[in-house]
Amino acid sequence: MNLGMKPDSVGLGWRQPHYQQLMQEQPALGFIEVHAENFFAEGGAARQLLRGARESYELSLHGVGLSLGSAIGIDPWHLDRLARLNDELQPALVSDHASFARVQLPGQPTPIHGNDLLPIAFNDASLAVMVRNVQQVQDRLRRPLLVENLSAYLRWERPGEALRAEPDFFNELVARSGCGLLLDVNNLMVNALNSGLDAAGALQSCVNWVDRLHVGCVGQIHLAGYCELEDVVIDDHGSLVRPAVWQLYRHVLGHFGPRPSLIEWDTDLPSLQVLLDEVHRAQDCMATSALMEPAHA
Query: Does residue 31 contact residue 92 with C-beta atoms inside 8 Å?
Result: yes
Residue 263 in contact with residue 225, Cβ under 8 Å?
no
Whether the Cβ atoms of residue 164 and residue 202 lie closer than 8 Å to each other: no
Residue 293 reports pLDDT greater than 70: no
Judged against a pLDDT cut of 50, whether residue 180 lies above it is answered with: yes
pLDDT value at residue 291: 62
Average pLDDT for 169-198: 97
What does the pLDDT average to over 99-127? 83
- Is the confidence at residue 175, as pLDDT, over 60? yes
Top-level class of domain 10-290: alpha beta
CB 242 within 8 A of CB 192: no
CA–CA gap between residue 57 and residue 53 (Å, rounded): 6
Helices of type H across the chain: 19-25, 44-56, 76-89, 124-141, 166-177, 185-194, 199-211, 243-256, 272-290
Please tell me the predicted confidence (pLDDT) of residue 292.
Answer: 60
Query: Quick one: average pLDDT of 47-70?
Result: 95
- For every residue of 145-200, DSSP letters joined together read -EEEPPP-S-----TTPPPPPHHHHHHHHHHHH--EEEEEHHHHHHHHHHTT--HH
Q: How far is residue 244's CA from residue 83's CA, in Å, rounded to a whole number?
A: 37
Residue 225 has pLDDT above 50, yes or no: yes
As a whole number, the mean pLDDT across the chain is 92
Write out the DSSP string of 76-106.
Answer: HHHHHHHHHHHHHH--SEEEEESEEEEE--T
Please write the tens of the pLDDT for every residue from 242-284: 999 999 999 999 999 999 999 999 999 999 999 999 999 999 9
CB 92 within 8 A of CB 59: yes
Question: Do 123 and 143 touch, CB atoms closer than 8 A?
Answer: no
Note the pLDDT of residue 44.
87
What average pLDDT score do residues 84-108 get?
90
Residue predicted with more confidence, 107 or 122? 122
| Spans of all domains in the chain | 10-290
57-61 mean pLDDT? 97
The pLDDT confidence band at residue 297, using thresholds 50, 70 and 90, is: very low
